[in-house]
Chain A
Amino acid sequence: MNESPIEDIISVEGVSKSFGSFKALENITLKIPKGKIFGLLGPNGAGKTTLIRILTGITGPDKGSVMIGGNERKIGQIGYLPEERGLYRKMKVWDQALYLTQLKGLSETEAIANLKPWFERMDMVSWRKKPVESLSKGMQQRLQFVITVASNPEILILDEPFSGFDPINAEQLKQEILRLKSEGTTIALSTHNMSSVEELCSHVCLINKGEIILNDSLESIKSSFSKSIFEVSFIGSQVAFANSIGFQFEIVDMKEENGKTKALIKSHGKVDPNDLLSALIRNLTVKSFSEVLPSMNDIFIDLVNGEKEKVTA
Chain B
Amino acid sequence: MRNTWLIIKREYLSRVTKSSFIIMSLLGPIIMAGVGIVSVYLSIEETENQRILVIDENYPLFNTIESSDLIEYDVKPITFDDALKSFESSDYTALLHIDKNYYKVHSGALYFKKQPSFRIQRKIERTIQLRGEEFKLSEFNISETDYRRIKEPFEMQAFQYDSATNTSEEADMLPAVVGIVFSILIYMFIFMYSVQVMRGVIEEKTNRIVEVLISTVKPFHLMLGKILGIAAVGFTQFFIWITLSFTLLGVGQYIMLSKYDSGQIIENATMTNQVQKDIQGELADKTANYSSEDNIIASIGKVNFPLMIGLFLFYFFGGYLLYSAMMAAVGSAVDNDTDTQQFILPITFPLIIGYIASFILFSNPNSPIGFWLSMIPFTSPIVMLVRVPFNNVEVWELVLSMSILVVSFLGMVWLSAKIYRTGILMYGKKPTIREMIRWIKY
Contacts and interface: CB of A to CB of B under 8 A. Distances in A.
A75 B215 CA distance: 7
Contacts of A103: 3, 6-7, 213, 216-217
A147 B211 CA distance: 14
Interface string B1-23: 01100110010001000000000
A59 B212 contact: no
Interface string A130-168: 000000000000001001100000000000000000000
A58 B208 contact: no
> Could you tell me the dominant secondary structure of chain B's interface residues?
helix
Given A59-B425, A99-B10, A103-B3, A86 B207 contact: yes
Interface string A77-117: 01010101111111100000001101111000000000000
Contacts of B213: 103
Contacts of A91: 14
Contacts of B203: 88
B207 A89 contact: yes
Contact of B6 (A57, A89, A99, A144): A99
A102 B204 CA distance: 18
A84 B6 contact: no
Contact of A82 (B10, B208, B217): B208
A76 B211 contact: no
A75 B217 contact: yes
A58 B218 CA distance: 8
B14 A86 contact: no
B214 interface: yes
Contact of A80 (B6, B207, B210, B215): B215
Nearest to B218: A75
Given A75-B218, A80-B212, A104-B216, A58 B6 contact: no
A86 B216 contact: no
B209 interface: yes
Contact of B212 (A57, A86, A89, A105): A86
A179 to B, nearest CB: 22
B14 A57 contact: no
A75 B216 contact: yes
Interface in B299-356: none
A58 B207 contact: no
Contacts of B2: 105
A99 B204 CA distance: 15
Contact of B208 (A57, A80, A86, A90): A86
A86 B424 CA distance: 13
A148 B3 CA distance: 17
A223 B214 CA distance: 40
B210 A86 contact: yes
Nearest to A85: B208
Given A91-B14, A103-B3, A103-B6, A56 B207 contact: no
A84 B208 contact: yes
A206 to B, nearest CB: 24
Interface in A256-309: none
Contacts of B211: 58, 80, 82, 84, 86
B209 A86 contact: yes
A63 B218 CA distance: 20
A76 B10 contact: no
A85 B207 CA distance: 8
Interface string B176-211: 000000000000000000000000000110011111
B215 A57 contact: yes
B215 A87 contact: no
A169 B25 CA distance: 45
Contacts of B7: 103
Interface of A: 53, 56-59, 75-76, 78, 80, 82, 84-91, 99-100, 102-105, 144, 147-148
19 contacts: A56-B215, A58-B214, A75-B215, A75-B218, A76-B216, A76-B217, A80-B212, A82-B208, A82-B215, A86-B211, A87-B207, A88-B14, A88-B204, A88-B207, A99-B6, A100-B216, A103-B6, A103-B7, A144-B212
Given A76-B217, A80-B212, A88-B203, 19 more contacts: A75-B215, A75-B217, A75-B218, A76-B215, A80-B211, A82-B211, A84-B208, A85-B208, A86-B204, A86-B207, A86-B208, A86-B210, A91-B14, A99-B10, A103-B213, A103-B216, A103-B217, A104-B216, A147-B212
